C-alpha cells in the first residue's frame, strides 16, 4: 500500500508493505508502512526528521498513525535492549526484581542518563512482569532477528567494533 504524500509528514524514505513483516501481526495488521521524513510539527526555518508508523483501517488512513523524532525511536530500541538484558539476568537468578531497588538499568545520554526501572506503581506488577517476561520470551526469535540486523547496521556504520 502506498504511503500518502498529501499529509503534513513528508515521507522521504519509506518501507511500504510493512504489514507483511510486522512481527507476530504480519499479514493481519493495520500498520501498513514506516517512513522517515520531515516532521509534521516543522515550522519555517526549523526542520526535524521524524519516523512514522502509518496505520490504515481498511477504509482510510488512521489518526492512530504515530510520528516520533528519531532519537525517541532509538531510545525505545535502547529500552528494549535493557529490558531483554534484565529478563535474561532475572531468569538466571530466578528473581524478576527487587522491590527495594526497582532500577534495573541506566543508559548514559546527553550528559545525563535514562534510568530504566520496574514500575512499582503498578498494583499488579508481579503478575504483569511474569506475563511480560513470558511474552518477551515467546517473541525472542522476532526480536533477536531485528537486534542482530540492528547490530549489523551499526557495525556497517562503524559505531560498534567488529
Q: How far apart are CA 15 and CA 148, in angstroms?
A: 19
Q: How high does pLDDT run on average in the chain?
A: 85
Compute the average pLDDT of residues 32-56. Answer: 82
Q: What is the pTM of this model?
A: 0.80
pLDDT at 93 over 70: no
Compute the average pLDDT of residues 34-45. Answer: 77
Q: What is the pLDDT of residues 107-118, one digit of tens each?
A: 998 999 999 998
Write the DSSP string, 34-62. EEEEE-TT-BTTB--EEEEEEEB-SSSB-
Q: What is the pLDDT of residues 127-157, one digit of tens each?
A: 898 888 888 888 888 899 999 999 999 999 9
Amino acid at each position: 500500500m502506498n504511503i500518502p504524500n498529501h499529509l503534513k509528514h513528508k515521507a522521504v524514505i519509506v518501507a511500504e508493505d510493512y504489514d507483511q513483516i510486522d512481527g507476530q501481526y504480519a499479514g493481519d495488521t493495520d500498520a501498513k508502512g514506516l517512513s522517515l521524513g520531515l516532521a509534521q510539527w516543522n515550522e519555517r526555518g526549523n526542520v526535524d526528521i521524524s519516523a512514522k508508523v502509518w496505520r490504515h483501517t481498511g477504509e482510510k488512513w488512521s489518526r492512530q498513525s504515530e510520528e516520533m523524532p528519531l532519537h525517541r525511536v532509538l531510545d525505545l530500541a535502547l529500552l528494549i535492549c535493557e529490558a531483554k538484558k534484565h529478563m535474561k539476568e532475572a531468569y538466571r537468578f530466578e528473581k524478576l526484581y527487587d522491590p527495594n531497588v526497582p532500577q534495573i538499568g541506566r543508559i548514559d545520554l546527553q550528559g545525563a542518563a535514562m534510568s530504566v526501572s520496574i514500575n512499582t506503581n503498578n498494583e499488579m506488577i508481579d503478575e504483569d512482569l511474569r506475563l511480560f517476561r513470558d511474552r518477551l520470551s515467546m517473541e525472542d526469535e522476532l526480536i533477536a532477528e531485528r537486534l542482530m540486523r540492528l547490530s549489523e547496521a551499526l557495525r556497517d556504520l562503524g559505531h560498534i567494533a567488529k
